[in-house]
A and B are shown apart, each in its own frame.
Chain A
Amino acid sequence: MNYEAVIGLEVHVQIRTHSKVFTRVAAGYGHEPNTLTDPVVLGLPGALPMMNKAALDAVIKAGLLLSCKIAPVCKWDRKNYFYPDSPKNYQISQYDQPICLGGSVEIELPGAARNIMGEHKKIPLTRIHLEEDVGKLSHGITESLVDYNRAGTPLMEIVSDPAMHTAEEAYAYLSSLRSTMIYGGISDCDMEKGQLRCDANISIRPVGQTALGTKVELKNLNSISFVRDGIAHEIKRQTGVLERGGVIVQETRDYDGTTGTSQSLRSKEDAHDYRYFPDPDLLPVRVDAAWQARIQAECPELPFDKQRRFMERYQLPYTLASVLVGDRGLADYFEEAAQISGKPQGVGNWVVNDLLRELGSANLPLKHAKVRPADLAALVQMLEAGTILSHAAKEIFSEMFATGDQPEAIADRRGLKVASTASDELEQWCREAIATNPRALAEFKGGKESAINAFKGPVMKAAKGKANPKLVDEVLRKLLIAS
């Protein structure tokens, strides 16, 4: 029998705010344990939460970017459960009225080849809500330690519908979600720092069946590729169970990405009763139209919208466009240089091939690049005007990258510009080239335009590569017609 997988993802994204979600203490990563705390974070007797508006702004922004419906009121609930990483033994979260409802994440599946754009799809979202992160436990042999630095960091939970069917789709979903969050300045989504965490709900059913199979929750998918591998593994495992005549047990499984195996953490019977109820310490907050409009004004163009626009407006090939939109800063850099130069395709190639390569080998982020978009634009213009030749342009670019100097100045200093008027010398080289190739001359005379190219190589060689190809063409043409 053929089976179809049904996958839903629950993604937790830490919001990048200066302070924690219910108090003024700084949020951060990599600090000495238990230094980013205060009475509120530690849940001391008498401490009360106070909402951080920046965190709510960020969730509203995420919701608007993903076309969610924003709830008119932000209401808070307590999720009650005992665990040492939870300082109050309840988590402030949102239960029945999440701040964002519906919406979708656009995904792009791999194409038939690297340079062919794959299919685009919209994966519908169920909800996004805001909550506080918990602390971090580390277990020794005889004791366990808790670090509450992470506790109280604003955390979004983004829940998709069970609407994906392959590990590739889940991978594409997470990649797209991640770049959208980064574009919006909502989170850095560094999975190694736990800024983005993913759990997957997976079930399988015979193809053609509409009812869902028994779901298994897969936890600890700690990198985007673990998400893909873990889901693929789980689909295979469930298929194997059914094919052997077994039944799927509703459970939570822990995926170990290093060994590519999973094991059961707990079954459905251990499910918590979280005793949700409205948090009496936090008043609901009204989110009016003006508030939404203010956030809407801060929303950037989404990566795939930008990709479409770059391909249409600048006629960029898919490969260039997809690389450029992979980073908002890179896309902005490209667009600035493209507009200044009026040569988007040339600029696109330079950014993707040369700038990225230099940045990569220097291990520099884009923001530290010394080459300004306007300078790259000038370089591309010089090249396309024939003022410099392509190998000279490469040399100039390397120096621009190293020094930040302008291309014009570098070309002048290093004598890399080609002459703009024909010299006697050039005319002489052209005469010689024609004289030594009577066959090409005859062809040209006979009406074969392209025969002119046969003379250009020897001329350029004589000029040691510094001749202006336009001028060479001009002079040759004049001489050929006259002869």
Chain B
Amino acid sequence: MSSELFFSTIGDLRARLDSRDLSAVELMGVMIARTKAVEPLVGAFNSFDERDALAQAAASDARRATGATPGALEGIPVGLKDVIAVNGQPLTASSKMLANFVSPYDATVTTRLKGAGAVLWGRLNCDEFAMGSSTENSAFHPTGNPWDVTRVPGGSSGGSSAALAAGEAIATLGSDTGGSIRQPAALCGVVGLKPTYGLVSRYGLIAYASSLDQIGPFTRTVEDAAIVLGVIAGHDELDSTSWKAAIPDYRAELQRKQGPWTLGIPKEYFAEGLDPEIGAAVAAAIAFYESQGCRIKEISLPHTQYCLDTYYIIATAEASSNLARYDGVRYGHRSQQAKDVVDLYFKSRAEGFGAEVKRRIILGTYVLSSGYYDAFYLRAQKVRTLIRQDFTNAFQEVDALITPTSPIPAFKMGAKSDPLAMYLCDIYTIGVNLAGLPAISVPCGFTRGNLPMGLQLIGPPLQEANLLAIAQAYERAYPWSQRHPLL
């Protein structure tokens, strides 16, 4: 247990800030010192702007001094994955392509965080264009897992999970296209929430796969996740795919929603390839719920075996089109060797993109090509409907599904050089994106090697409040996130 300020929760810090026991500037000073101390080991940030953060903190203190009701995140340092636009700050997607790009506008989530008083702190590393499961695809540098810096923090939002686990931020945002919030949360021992598709605006999020991408929070506790979600969720008229749903007070709902619940165990998620220690930890969590009076039901998601293939067709098809804009004409990396416009495209993109991004662009271009569209893209869309239907059927019987988040704990950097082996990291998380569902990863213990493990809870669309309550019931009994890495 650590009582260090930089390992505090939003709830605790809000109380101290509101009582003037602590100022936002003091808090930010602590975060800066901590970040500078551990960054050489962790490498969670692509960049940070101390002066800007301190100025934001001072502005927050000034707002609090007026006596106005403080915003939900007033004075709280929140880090953003480097795919979310902040006006005047770098926006690189951890790619050479955008290494020198500064965003001239705010993402909608950025506007909302600012509106809630958050102090935006740093640009967090990730796999290039959010493509990967280890953050090793960053064009700049890898990020170390704070529990063992020779291991990966997961990905693609590895900078967001590592910064939080290492005490360099109080909360962070990531984006999740096939597990990119939940898997790094599991590997770093923090809470990671992927909201229902469309609950949080994507405006200002660098698109990887538009029909799958969703922004969500990394926090130390389920309650903190509820607080951040309450700030960033809600309809945005700049995003046509955003839900026009009423947003509940998630934090208040946590008090109201009590079990027992009916929880489903999808048998396909406990097959070969699951690390036995993780399997045992999840089984223990299931036993806990059962002991609390929950009904546990084995269910089937029969199309699970097609999730990976379906995902890699749809995601890459969308990516091939989404990433076409990075051509060196208007902004971003521009080759100095080009002879004409076609050459400019070839060379700028050849120089600006890394291997995994190129692999996915080529794959996506192929599946959309004339003569292949029906066999790949169209068929994948049909299978996607079946996968979604599997979940819909399951939720006729259960309130939520319990699964492992990742089949394996944090692995050594460089251990998965085969792309297919890397893709298997997302085997339990990808179906959720294809179905557009909310899911949360909560810490569920440590391996014998002291690596965190994660439990995934999946809910029906827009049932975040219930999902958070189910997660919190476990967290109260097993507060694993109170353990912190020694750095």
Q: Does A246 contact B (CB under 8 A)?
A: no
In the complex, are the beta carbons of B105 and A80 less than 8 A apart?
A: no
In the complex, are the beta carbons of A88 and B370 less than 8 A apart?
A: no
Bound state CA distance, A283 and B211, in angstroms? 10
CB contacts (< 8 Å) of B345 on chain A: these are 82
Chain A residues 77 to 96 lying within 8 A of chain B, measured CB to CB, are: 78, 80, 82, 84, 87-90
Q: Does B111 contact A (CB under 8 A)?
A: no
Find the B residue at minimum CB distance from A34.
B330
Selecting from B17-25, B115-123, B234-242, the interface stretch reads B234-242
- Given A42-B330, A275-B321, A275-B368, do A283 and B206 touch, yes or no (CB 8 Å)? no
Q: Does B205 contact A (CB under 8 A)?
A: yes
Contact bitstring B316-329, A, C-beta under 8 A = 1, else 0: 01101100111101
Q: Which of the residues B210, B330, B369 comes within 8 Å of A87, measured between beta carbons?
A: B330
Bound state CA distance, A146 and B344, in angstroms? 15
Contact bitstring A204-228, B, C-beta under 8 A = 1, else 0: 0000000000000000000000000
In the complex, are the beta carbons of A49 and B324 less than 8 A apart?
A: no
Q: Does A46 contact B (CB under 8 A)?
A: yes
Q: Does B286 contact A (CB under 8 A)?
A: no
- Given A42-B330, A45-B91, do A144 and B341 touch, yes or no (CB 8 Å)? yes
Chain B residues 306 to 348 lying within 8 A of chain A, measured CB to CB, are: 317-318, 320-321, 324-327, 329-331, 341-342, 345
Find the A residue at minimum CB distance from B202.
A48
Chain A residues 42 to 82 lying within 8 A of chain B, measured CB to CB, are: 42-51, 78, 80, 82
Classify chain B's interface size: 35 or more
Q: Does A432 contact B (CB under 8 A)?
A: no
CB contacts (< 8 Å) of B210 on chain A: these are 280-281
Q: Which of the residues A39, A43, A80, A146 comes within 8 Å of B368, measured between beta carbons?
A: A80
Bound state CA distance, A160 and B250, in angstroms? 55
Bound state CA distance, A222 and B330, in angstroms? 29
Bound state CA distance, A46 and B326, in angstroms? 12
* Chain A nearest Cβ from B433, distance in angstroms: 12
In the complex, are the beta carbons of B368 and A50 less than 8 A apart?
A: no
Question: Which residue among A45, A48, A82 has the maximum number of chain B CB atoms within 10 Å of its CB?
Answer: A45
In the complex, are the beta carbons of A45 and B206 less than 8 A apart?
A: yes
Q: Does B229 contact A (CB under 8 A)?
A: no
- Given A89-B324, A275-B321, A277-B321, do A43 and B239 touch, yes or no (CB 8 Å)? no
CB contacts (< 8 Å) of A89 on chain B: these are 324-325, 327
In the complex, are the beta carbons of A47 and B321 less than 8 A apart?
A: no
CB contacts (< 8 Å) of A82 on chain B: these are 324, 327, 342, 345
* Chain A nearest Cβ from B277, distance in angstroms: 38
CB contacts (< 8 Å) of A283 on chain B: these are 240-241
Find the B residue at minimum CB distance from A84.
B329
CB contacts (< 8 Å) of A43 on chain B: these are 325, 330
Bound state CA distance, A78 and B104, in angstroms? 25
In the complex, are the beta carbons of B369 and A39 less than 8 A apart?
A: no
In the complex, are the beta carbons of A277 and B105 less than 8 A apart?
A: no
- Given A90-B324, A280-B210, do A45 and B377 touch, yes or no (CB 8 Å)? no
Find the B residue at minimum CB distance from A45.
B206
CB contacts (< 8 Å) of A44 on chain B: these are 103-105, 331
Chain A residues 273 to 321 lying within 8 A of chain B, measured CB to CB, are: 273, 275-277, 280-283
Number of residues from A at the complex interface, CB < 8 A: 29
- Classify the interface of chain B: helix, strand, loop or mixed: loop
* Chain A nearest Cβ from B411, distance in angstroms: 30
In the complex, are the beta carbons of B369 and A46 less than 8 A apart?
A: no
Bound state CA distance, A144 and B89, in angstroms? 30
* Chain A nearest Cβ from B231, distance in angstroms: 19
CB contacts (< 8 Å) of B206 on chain A: these are 45-46
In the complex, are the beta carbons of B325 and A281 less than 8 A apart?
A: no
CB contacts (< 8 Å) of A84 on chain B: these are 327, 329, 341
Contact bitstring B205-243, A, C-beta under 8 A = 1, else 0: 111011100000000000000000000000001111100
CB contacts (< 8 Å) of B240 on chain A: these are 48-51, 281-283
* Chain A nearest Cβ from B178, distance in angstroms: 15
Bound state CA distance, A44 and B107, in angstroms? 12
CB contacts (< 8 Å) of A47 on chain B: these are 105, 203-204
Q: Does B463 contact A (CB under 8 A)?
A: no
Find the A residue at minimum CB distance from B318.
A280
Bound state CA distance, A146 and B321, in angstroms? 21
CB contacts (< 8 Å) of A273 on chain B: these are 369-370
Q: Which of the residues B103, B211, B320, B329 comes within 8 Å of A45, measured between beta carbons?
A: B103
In the complex, are the beta carbons of B324 and A46 less than 8 A apart?
A: no
* Chain A nearest Cβ from B485, distance in angstroms: 32
* Chain A nearest Cβ from B209, distance in angstroms: 8
Bound state CA distance, A87 and B342, in angstroms? 15
Bound state CA distance, A48 and B238, in angstroms? 7
Q: Does B408 contact A (CB under 8 A)?
A: no
Question: Which residue among A87, A88, A281 has the maximum number of chain B CB atoms within 10 Å of its CB?
Answer: A281
Q: Does B365 contact A (CB under 8 A)?
A: yes
CB contacts (< 8 Å) of B373 on chain A: these are 275, 277
Bound state CA distance, A89 and B361, in angstroms? 14
Bound state CA distance, A78 and B377, in angstroms? 14
Chain B residues 357 to 393 lying within 8 A of chain A, measured CB to CB, are: 365, 368-370, 373, 377
- Given A44-B105, A46-B107, A84-B341, do A277 and B325 touch, yes or no (CB 8 Å)? no
CB contacts (< 8 Å) of B238 on chain A: these are 48, 50
CB contacts (< 8 Å) of B98 on chain A: these are 45
Q: Does B85 contact A (CB under 8 A)?
A: yes
Find the B residue at minimum CB distance from A80.
B321
Find the A residue at minimum CB distance from B349.
A82
CB contacts (< 8 Å) of B368 on chain A: these are 80, 275-277
In the complex, are the beta carbons of B377 and A277 less than 8 A apart?
A: yes
Find the A residue at minimum CB distance from B371.
A273
Contact bitstring B79-106, A, C-beta under 8 A = 1, else 0: 0000111000001010000100101110
* Chain B nearest Cβ from A242, distance in angstroms: 31
Bound state CA distance, A82 and B330, in angstroms? 13
In the complex, are the beta carbons of B203 and A48 less than 8 A apart?
A: yes
Find the A residue at minimum CB distance from B212.
A280
In the complex, are the beta carbons of B101 and A45 less than 8 A apart?
A: yes
* Chain B nearest Cβ from A172, distance in angstroms: 36
Bound state CA distance, A43 and B321, in angstroms? 12
Bound state CA distance, A114 and B240, in angstroms? 54
- Given A277-B317, A281-B210, do A87 and B325 touch, yes or no (CB 8 Å)? yes
* Chain A nearest Cβ from B264, distance in angstroms: 29
Contact bitstring B232-263, A, C-beta under 8 A = 1, else 0: 00000111110000000000000000000000
* Chain B nearest Cβ from A20, distance in angstroms: 14
- Given A48-B203, A87-B330, A88-B324, do A275 and B105 touch, yes or no (CB 8 Å)? no
Contact bitstring B424-462, A, C-beta under 8 A = 1, else 0: 000000000000000000000000000000000000000
CB contacts (< 8 Å) of B327 on chain A: these are 82, 84, 89
Find the A residue at minimum CB distance from B207.
A46
CB contacts (< 8 Å) of B239 on chain A: these are 48, 50
In the complex, are the beta carbons of B324 and A80 less than 8 A apart?
A: yes
Bound state CA distance, A10 and B420, in angstroms? 47
In the complex, are the beta carbons of A46 and B317 less than 8 A apart?
A: no
Bound state CA distance, A80 and B365, in angstroms? 10
In the complex, are the beta carbons of A46 and B203 less than 8 A apart?
A: yes
- Given A80-B321, A273-B370, A281-B241, do A46 and B330 touch, yes or no (CB 8 Å)? no
In the complex, are the beta carbons of A46 and B205 less than 8 A apart?
A: yes
Bound state CA distance, A281 and B326, in angstroms? 18
- Given A80-B368, A82-B345, A84-B329, do A46 and B204 touch, yes or no (CB 8 Å)? yes
> What residues of chain B have their CB less than 8 Å away from a CB belonging to chain A?
83-85, 91, 93, 98, 101, 103-105, 107, 202-207, 209-211, 237-241, 317-318, 320-321, 324-327, 329-331, 341-342, 345, 365, 368-370, 373, 377
Ordered by A's residue number, 8 sampled pairs between the chains whose C-beta atoms are within 8 Å are: A46-B206, A48-B239, A50-B237, A88-B324, A89-B324, A273-B370, A275-B368, A276-B368
> What residues of chain A have their CB less than 8 Å away from a CB belonging to chain B?
39, 42-51, 78, 80, 82, 84, 87-90, 144, 146, 273, 275-277, 280-283
Given A46-B84, A80-B321, 18 additional A-B pairs, CB 8 A:
A44-B104, A45-B91, A45-B207, A48-B239, A48-B240, A80-B368, A82-B327, A82-B342, A84-B327, A87-B325, A89-B327, A275-B365, A275-B368, A275-B369, A275-B370, A275-B373, A277-B377, A283-B241
